[in-house]
Structure 1
Amino acid sequence: MIRNEFMVRFGQAPRLKTGILVKRWATGPNKGQPKPGAVIQGMLDRGLLELRDDGAHWLRARFTKAGLAALRHMAEDPRALPPGEYQHVLDELGRA
């Protein structure tokens, strides 16, 4: 999921600080509440992400300090985040 969310699309590299988009329930009893997928929910439960509600249609899940530490650990393996494709992420994490 990390690789998919932060890969370069349309020539623009997404930034870690902008976070991951999370949908809201559109109808029903949970209308307006966050609707994170299973992977995002698991990362929220482990304290790797936090949801910030700024009133926009979409929520953003942003990495906590623990989440950034886990990303740094993940970045130690070049197979997890190949430098050719994810150099922008490695740069943000302070790994060149």
Structure 2
Amino acid sequence: MTHSEANIFSPAERELIRREFGQRFGTFPSLAEGIFLRRWRTGPQAGQAKIPKVVAGLIERGLVALSPEPVSILGTRAFFTPAGVAALRVLLQDRRAMDPARYGHLRRELGLDPIETGHAA
């Protein structure tokens, strides 16, 4: 893996990924759940997704796409595109960027590590 391949995501984008897909309340979020985005409640953008700069950059580069359907009245989700999943796979192989112990669930979801069966053979 070259240095440029490992730096597909900016530091702010890596931090967003760590925060969104880190363990919460004892559970590990799945990539299939996407990135939660709040919605504007009032004003000229009422009902539209609030898109942070970091997510806007991912959308512009084609790594993330907005869901066409709202999750709830509070928000919607952004999902990784096939190009985004490929970039995420490269990122997860960099052990310094994404700790395998903390983000092993993502590594397993992307097929980088074997899935644990939960019992010894």
4+ aligned runs moved over 4 Å, structure 1: none
Amino acid at match of 1:78: R
Q: Give the CA deviation at 1:79.
A: 1.1
Structure 2, gaps ≥5 residues long = 1-15, 114-121
1:70 is matched with which residue? 87
2:112 is matched with which residue? 95
Report the structure, 1 or 2, having the larger strand content.
1
Aligned residues: 96
1:5-84 correspondence runs (5 A): 5-55=20-70, 56-57=72-73, 58-84=75-101
- SS at 1:79 equivalent: coil
Q: TM-score, normalised by structure 1?
A: 0.94
Structure 1 vs Structure 2 CA RMSD:
1.0
Q: Give the CA deviation at 1:5.
A: 0.6
Which sits farther off after the overlay, 58-67 or 74-83?
74-83
CA–CA distance in 2 between the matches of 1:81 and 1:17? 18
Q: Give the CA deviation at 1:21.
A: 0.4
Amino acid at match of 1:77: D
Q: TM-score, normalised by structure 2?
A: 0.76
Q: Give the CA deviation at 1:53.
A: 3.0
CA–CA distance in 1 between the matches of 2:92 and 2:100? 9
Identical residues among aligned pairs (%):
46
Structure 1, gaps ≥5 residues long = none
- SS at 2:102 equivalent: helix
Larger Rg: 2
